[in-house]
Structure 1
Amino acid sequence: MKMSRFVASMMMLHTLLMASVNAEELVYTRAFADDDYGSYHVAVLNAVFAATPEYGDVALLPHPHPMSQSRQLVTLLKGDADVMWSVTNSNREQRLLPIKLPLLKGYSGYRVLVINPSEQASFAQQTGEALKQSTMVQGADWPDLNVLKANGYNVSGEDWSLWFHSMYSMVDKGLVDAFPRNIIEVHRDLTRHSEKAITLEKHHLLFYPNYEYFFVKPDNIALANRLRVGLIRVLESGELETIFNRFDAHRKAQRIADGKMRKVHMLTNPSIDYTLPYARWDKHTDLAINTLKQTQY
Structure 2
Amino acid sequence: MKKLSVFVVLITLFVPRAQASEPGEVIFTRAFADDAYGYYHAQILQRILELTPEFGKAVAVPHPQPMPQARQIIKLQAGEGDVMWSATSNEREQQLLPVRFPLLQGLAGYRVLVINAYKQAQYPTSLTKADLQNLVGVQGNDWPDLTVLRHNGFKVEGAQWSLWFQTMFTAVEKGMVDYFPRNVIEVSNDLERHEAKRIKLEDNFILRYPSYEYFFVSPLKPELVNRLQIGLLRMLNNGELKVLFEKHDNHKKAMLLATDPSRIMIELNNPDLAYKYTNPLWGNDATEMRQLLEEAILKSTQTDN
For normalisation by structure 1, the TM-score amounts to: 0.83
**2:277 corresponding residue in structure 1:** 276
Contact 1:32 1:162 in 2 (8 A): no
Q: Are residues 1:36 and 2:36 paired?
A: yes
| Contact map agreement 2:76 2:219 (CA 8 A) in 1 | no
Task: Give the conservation status (yes or no) of the 8 Å contact 1:23–1:59.
Answer: no
Counterpart residue identity of residue 205, structure 1? I
Mapping for residues 106-255 of structure 1, pairs under 5 Å: 106-124=106-124, 126-161=127-162, 164-255=165-256
Measured after TM superposition, the shift of residue 148 of structure 1 is: 0.9
- The structural deviation recorded for 1:114 is 1.5
Structure 1: tracts of 5 or more residues without a match: 1-12
CA contact (8 A) 1:69 1:142 kept: no
C-alpha distance in 2, partners of 1:66/1:237?
Answer: 33
My pick for the range that moved more, 113-122 or 230-239, is 113-122
Task: Answer yes or no: is the 8 Å Cα contact 1:88–1:143 preserved in 2.
Answer: no
Q: 3-state SS of the aligned residue for 2:61? A: strand
What secondary structure, in the 3-state scheme, does the structure 1 residue paired with 2:273 have? Answer: coil
The offset of 1:264, in angstroms, is: 1.2
- Please say if residues 112 and 181 of structure 1, whose CA atoms lie closer than 8 Å, have aligned partners that are also in contact: yes
Q: Distance in 2 between matches of 1:32 and 1:47?
A: 21
Q: Percent identity?
A: 46
Cα distance in 2, alignment partners of residues 176 and 63 from structure 1 = 39
State yes or no: 1:294 paired with 2:295.
yes
Cα deviation for residue 200 of structure 1 reads 1.1
Distance 2:233 2:35 in 1: 27
What is the Cα deviation at residue 168 of structure 1? Answer: 3.0
1:49 aligns with 2:69: no
Secondary structure of 2:119 counterpart: helix
Instruction: Report the secondary structure of 1:225's partner residue.
Output: helix
Cα distance in 2 for residues equivalent to 1:92 and 1:282: 26
Pair 61,171 (structure 1): closer, same or farther in 2 beyond 3 Å: farther
Q: Secondary structure at the match of 2:207?
A: strand
Q: 1:289 to 1:248 in 2, by over 3 A?
A: same
1:97-146 per-position Cα deviation (integer Å, ceiling 9, x unaligned): 11111111121221001222133222337432121122222233332222
In the alignment, residue 195 of structure 2 is paired with which amino acid?
Answer: S
Identify if the C-alpha distance between structure 1 residues 272 and 128 changes in structure 2 by more than 3 Å, giving closer, same or farther: same
CA distance in 1, matches of 2:283, 2:271: 26
Task: Indicate the SS of the match to 1:268.
Answer: coil
Cα shift readout 1:148-189 (whole Å, capped 9, x = no counterpart): 111001123334327744433433444332221111121122
Please give the alpha-carbon distance, in whole angstroms, between the structure 1 residues aligned to 2:199 and 2:219: 41
**Are residues 176 and 60 of structure 1, via their aligned partners in 2, closer, same or farther at CA, if it must alter by over 3 Å?**
farther
Asked if 1 retains the 8 angstrom alpha-carbon contact of 2:96 and 2:217, the reply is: yes
Higher alpha-carbon Rg: 1
Q: 1:199 Cα shift?
A: 2.1
SS in 1 for 2:181: strand
| Alignment coverage as a number of residue pairs | 280
- After superposition, the Cα gap between the structure-2 partners of 1:260 and 1:283, relative to the gap in structure 1 and judged at 3 Å, is closer
How far apart are the structure 1 equivalents of 2:173 and 2:29? 30
Counterparts in 2 of 1:258 and 1:81: CA distance versus 1, 3 Å: same
**CA 1:72–1:202 in structure 2 vs 1: closer, same or farther (change >3 Å)?**
farther
Structure 1 residue 58 and structure 2 residue 36: aligned? no
Aligned to 2:3: none
Residues 54-104 of structure 1, C-alpha deviations (whole Å, 9 max, x = no match): 323333233444444334333333434322222211111111111111111
SS at match of 1:118: coil
Structure 2 vs 1, CA of residues 78 and 134 (structure 1 numbering), >3 Å: closer, same or farther?
farther
- Equivalent pair of 1:89/1:143 in contact (CA under 8 Å): no
